[in-house]
Every structure is written in structure tokens, then in C-alpha cells.
Structure 1
């Protein structure tokens, strides 16, 4: 099978008054009722008729993570660059922010389309996002999406330029995984974007002695979030981080011929109690939670 059926939704992107980053954006569907027959987690349409869209297959450096404590972020150079490039791709210019919140942009809204198969546990729509001429098909129709269409999306663009990490979850069409894995490897081998500073799988790992040092290293955001939560909820030391991971429901599949389902714990290594690394590349990892 060379294509997969996805829901095509027409609408407008809006950013003023929001905090868009490199993998989330606000979208106003032309017809919010297109989501009513979706199975699985519901997609929240707010009072303004907007939804939150989470870019499928992409994990940008965190610009404002505060799930378990005070707001923290990863190195600003790449988190901010990914966010800006996403907005530029979608047609926004002269974007001004106060902190992370957009206070003005030209135009105020831009037309676009998304392709989705459902939502996530946070009631966001997980989608490939595009601008310009939409795929063939009516708004709200199930359309065939192939790799050529994938290559026109912001998701593909951000991975191709090396500004974001891959973030693969179950339900991502296998051929799309192959394509996004391939462009990720190409970006890393070409030293594009964040890859020259990536410490996720570096032999010596990322040296992390507490929250302050954690916010200075470039690592997979999924690993960053787990470390932040551990530091907030347990202690600011790597000593008990493996035990913390053991208690998390992070079901992981490694893309290899003999792959078996794992937790995150077996693919995370602590080095001399001072550094942390993953033993597999991010693009070879699929998280099996919703």
C-alpha cells in the first residue's frame, strides 16, 4: 500500500495571542463538525472555533514546559528557530512576541489545510499541516495521502532542515515513518540545524547535574521532559532516574528486524552518574502510547 486514508480539513491558522512552538499551532477549521465521527480521543474545539494541532512525527525543542513545576525550556537557538520557521512556512511575517506569546503578525490569519487520523490524550488534533493548494478532495473528505504529499508539509520541512527531532507514535503510517526517518538521518549526516550539538546518543552522553545544566544541552525533547519531571518530583540527580523511568508507562518499539516492545528504561544509559544518553537514534524509536 502506497497511500493511507486521512481526513482533509480546510481552515485558517491563527497565532496572535497564542504561544506557538515548533510542533504546535492553532487552526480554525472551516467546518468544526468534521471531527464528530472520529474514534478515539476527542478533539477539542474551543469557543472561538479553534483547535490545537500537534504536528505528526515532529518533536521540537521545548520552549515552555511546565507540566510538573516552574516553566523551563531547552536551548533557545533551536526551539525559537523551529517555531519561527514553522510560522514562516505557514505564511506569517513580522511576528512579534512578548515572551512566548505572539502579540502581532502579518497577516493575522493564513489559509491552510491539515491531514489527520485523530487526536491525542490532550484533545489536540495530530496532523500533517500544509499551506497553498490543498490535496484533491472536499473539505471533510477522506483522501489518499502518499509520500509525495507528505513532502509538501511543514512536518517534512522541519525534519529535513534539522530544526526538530522526530517524534514517532503508534498509528503513523509505516511508509511515512521510513520517509521521515530518512530525511532525519540525512539532516544529521549533513550537520544541519541542531544535529551538530545533539547529545542524545553521543558516546559521552549529555552531562546533567541538575535542572540548570539540563536546560543547556540539546537532547530529544521526550528525554528532556522525563528528566524535568524526575528532577521536579524526585530529586535533581541522575542516580534514581532509572527507577523513575521504570515506573513510567513509556512503551517503546525499536525499528529493527528483531525488535520487541520495551519501556524507555532499557534504551537510556547513565554514565558515571553524571551523564545520560539513549542507545538508539530518535528516528529508530516509536512510542506506543496514544
Structure 2
């Protein structure tokens, strides 16, 4: 699969990078102009980048209400692991904002097919020497994927997979494989993951979401439900039924328009998904 290669640098001081988002400054400000079908916003020379194929625990989610985060241990570990991979050391924060790092910026490159609905660049991230010339469109295969931060984070078990339909099957299969390997080895967050646990994740209101390790997409849907509807799970299935997610379950070859058929409420106080994260693929809206 050919992807656009953009060369530049990562800068983090004054920003709030987490385990799957970071700011990137392309060497050529017009580098993303080739992506007309899925535009990327470059503001003051900076592009917001969302890592392709992964979903890290939320460290500062506030789309529908006050800021809230998932369990700090793994959200913070994923964020630090990403910055270390990209070459940053001695990162100091006040809250979530980076106030110093050594070095303050690092060279890097990204491989992308375009932006998401928020015009963030969805990409594979690399550090150091790029695998080609800036602005070219190299073929991205599994060996190249294995050099990226995306692959590394899933391999460590510090993030969940988050697959969308534009990600080529060959690359998705590799990321799914390392996800399963990390889970089976009990790495990172997997020993505490309650997303598909038989008893589900105990969710008794907004505050309880800061204590359970679950798929961030499910976390975001729960937060939005609690902010916009009610502080219980009673109407959560109906809320999900009204949110278009267009998700395919690979193992059963079935497609659902919403997450509602894949979510169970247990005894009114626990929630679980019936498909593993790497077994689901979402269609870009």
C-alpha cells in the first residue's frame, strides 16, 4: 500500500501529547496538499497527528463535558513510551502540558493516507532517518510497519488496537497479531483489561470510569452518555443505537451500524463488549 511520506520534526513543549496524538511540523508546509480527498489541517506550520491503528487510554477527554481521564498508570506510560520512542528524554510536565524536554524537538517522519473528520493527520510514525524522500509515496509493507511507533506501542501492550477500514489488511493483520501476543504474554494493560471480561467492567457512574481499564472508544461513549443523558447504564444501549459507528466484526463477517449489538449490560451495573478490539474494524465517517 502506497502512503505519502512527510518528513519533519516532533515538538512537544507547550503541548499535551498522549499515547496516540502528537504535534508534527512538516519540513515542507505544502506537503499535505496531495491529500485532497482526506485533507489535513496545518495551522501555523503545525499538523496534529493521530497514530494509525491504535487507541491509547484517554488522559484528558473533554469533548462533551469536564475533563476526565482513564486510569493514569497506562495512559501516562503509553504517552511516555511514545515520546521515548521518538527520541525525547527528561520530559517534564505540569499537569498534562509538557514544559521541558531534552531535546526540545526531534527529527522524524510520518506515513499517511490523509486526515480524520477533525482534519488530524492519521499516520504511522517513525523516528530518525526516513524510508525515502520527502513527498514521495513508498509502498508500506510489514517490515516497514515494524519500525514505527504504532507497532511498538501495541507490541508493549500499552495501547489498544483501533482499526479503520483504510488501513490495509496486511498491516492490520500484523498489528492484530502483536496485540494478541501482548495479551497472551500479560504485557502492559492487558492483565487489567475488562473490555470483554465475562463479568464486564463495573460502571456505576462517571467517577467509576477513572478506575476501570477498558477500550477508550467504549470509555468515550460512556462519558458522553453520562454527560448528555443520565448517570446510569439504563439508557446506554439506546444511546449507542443513535450513534453511527459502522463496525465490522471480522471473525463473524458481520457489519453493524452502531456499537449497540456489541455491548452488553450486566445486572445494570457492568458493561462489556462481545468482540475483542482487534476483531473490529470501523468505517471512516
TM over 0.5: yes
Give TM-score scaled by structure 1 length.
0.97
Q: CA deviation at 1:89?
A: 0.3
* Corresponding residue of 1:283: 278
SS of the equivalent of 1:129 reads strand
* Corresponding residue of 1:41: 38
Question: Is 2:144 the partner of 1:149?
Answer: yes
* Corresponding residue of 2:93: 97
Q: CA deviation at 1:131?
A: 0.6
Q: Deviations over 1:231-285 (max 9, x none)?
A: 0000010010000001001110111253334421100000011100000000001
Which residue of 102, 107, 126 corresponds with 2:103? 107
Question: Is 2:89 the partner of 1:86?
Answer: no
Q: Deviations over 1:204-232 (max 9, x none)?
A: 00000000111110000000000000000
Give TM-score scaled by structure 2 length.
0.98
Please tell me whether the aligned partners of residues 242 and 258 of structure 2 are also in contact (alpha carbons under 8 angstroms).
no
How many residue pairs get aligned? The number is: 285
SS of the equivalent of 2:15 reads coil
- The 2-side partners of 1:6 and 1:261 are apart by 29
Gapped regions of structure 2 (runs ≥ 5) = none
Question: Is 2:26 the partner of 1:29?
Answer: yes
SS of the equivalent of 1:42 reads coil
Runs of 4+ in 1 over 3 A off after TM superposition: none
Q: CA deviation at 1:34?
A: 1.5
- The 1-side partners of 2:180 and 2:200 are apart by 19
Which residue of 173, 176, 183 corresponds with 1:178? 173
Taking only aligned residues, the RMSD between alpha carbons, in angstroms, comes to 0.9
SS of the equivalent of 2:69 reads coil
Gapped regions of structure 1 (runs ≥ 5) = none
- Aligned pairs for 1:46-57 (under 5 A) are 46-47=43-44, 49-57=45-53
- The 2-side partners of 1:257 and 1:209 are apart by 31
SS of the equivalent of 1:145 reads coil
